Amino acid sequence: MAKQPNSVSSGGESFMVKLATFIVDKRNLFFLITIILVIFSMFSRGWVEVENDLTFYLPEDSETKKALNVMEGEFTTYGTAEVMVANISYADAESMLDDLKEIRGVQSISFDDTTDHYNNASALFSITFDYDETDDACLESLDKVKEYLSGQDVYVKTDLGNAQAETIEREINMIMVYVAVVIVAVLLFTSETFGEVPVLILTFGVGLIVNQGTNYLLGKISFVSNSVTSILQLGLSIDYAIIFCNRFKEEHKTLPIREAVILALSKAIPEIGASSLTTIGGLVAMLFMQFKLGPDMAICLIKSIGFALLSAFVVMPGLLMLFG
């Protein structure tokens, strides 16, 4: 009697086959847990405390940190902003000067008829506020200045608030949209069946959302980690999910769906797991950096890899069974 190949129901099953069988057969339970985690993460993403000051991560015994502490103790750095009003005559700009000085929180305004402050029908007001540059009252006063000038063509340059973090977040969000469009387009052109596309996209999405939602468990993370981690995780999730999907397609040529998913998962877990260890090993080295931004990014990225693996190993098998 010929030996049946690739059987997942024989008596001598390996641990990986037993684990894969459990994941596939309990897929409805894992779906329920995943849905709960995704819903929770959608809310908890807003609870993440983000540190926007990179000097926060400097070692306390570093010369730079010591110097900054001395400067903060000895000097007060008042908030400033440069506000340019375009398409305005010098007389009209000068008439605004007294009203701007009356705005609460405005300490002084530099403006004259030199080319430093008026050129090509554009007026530049150099404003100094009454508060420290880290005080939110500066932003409130700046908002009042913008409100007063709302009828003009206004351009503002300032270091107040979290301008750098906001810029990075805005650009990352834009990049994520471009990446999503490219990924969907590539999947549509390269997938053998349209059923692969929702499986892969849902696998990416679950890992991404749950990772973002659990960041608040870390207490406080840098704006760099908060912004960049999602892009890097997306790249890793694609690799893991596609490797598993290709393995499933190979097994499904000769086996029914359930058996193909179980056998593919039992083979993919050690393969993908070993591959991820090389990435994790490189990130572990960042944990020993004195500049604490390194450990902050390493922890966030290692966590993102963990959720990418869980999404591929726990969520994707059920999706393959669902979409066939």
pLDDT tens digits for 112-156? 888 889 998 899 999 989 888 777 788 888 889 989 888 888 888
Q: Which residues of the chain have pLDDT under 50?
A: 1-7, 9-12
Q: Which domain-ending residue is among 100, 129, 158?
A: 158
**pLDDT single digits (tens) 164-182:** 666 777 777 788 788 778 8
Instruction: Check residue 290 and report its DSSP letter.
Output: S
Q: Which domain-ending residue is among 158, 188, 211?
A: 158
Report the CATH number at residue 246.
1.20.1640.10
Q: Is 37 inside any structural domain?
A: yes
Q: Is 134 inside any structural domain?
A: yes
Q: What does the pLDDT read at residue 3?
A: 42
C-alpha span between 105 and 130 (Å, rounded) = 5
Q: How many CB atoms lie within 10 A of CB 80?
A: 19
Amino acid at 77: T
The neighbouring-strand residues paired with 221 are: 50
Q: What does the pLDDT read at residue 302?
A: 92
- Looking at the chain, the number of H-run helices and the number of E-run strands are 11, 7
Sign, CA dihedral 249-252-257-263, equals: negative
Q: Is 63 inside any structural domain?
A: no
Q: Does 197 lie in the same domain as 284? A: yes
Q: Does 124 lie in the same domain as 258? A: no
**H or E element: which one contains 310?**
helix 293-310
Q: What does the pLDDT read at residue 311?
A: 92
Q: What does the pLDDT read at residue 132?
A: 80
Q: What does the pLDDT read at residue 296?
A: 92
Instruction: Give me the phi and psi of 318, to 5 degrees please.
Output: -65, -35
Q: Is 35 inside any structural domain?
A: yes
Q: Which domain-ending residue is among 131, 158, 185?
A: 158
Q: How many CB atoms lie within 10 A of CB 196?
A: 22
Structure tokens at 34: 């995943």
C-alpha span between 303 and 296 (Å, rounded) = 11
Q: What does the pLDDT read at residue 238?
A: 80
Q: Does 223 lie in the same domain as 149? A: no
Q: Does 233 lie in the same domain as 136? A: no
Q: Does 189 lie in the same domain as 153? A: no
Q: Is 214 inside any structural domain?
A: yes
Whether the Cβ atoms of residue 132 and residue 154 lie closer than 8 Å to each other: no
Q: Does 150 lie in the same domain as 24? A: no
Number of domains in the chain: 2
C-alpha span between 189 and 56 (Å, rounded) = 46
C-alpha span between 79 and 161 (Å, rounded) = 10
Q: How many CB atoms lie within 10 A of CB 253?
A: 7
Q: Does 246 lie in the same domain as 310? A: yes
Q: What does the pLDDT read at residue 260?
A: 92
Whether the Cβ atoms of residue 196 and residue 210 lie closer than 8 Å to each other: no
In which domain, by residue range, is 95 found?
A: 77-158
Q: Is the pTM of this model over 0.85?
A: no
Report the CATH number at residue 127.
3.30.70.100
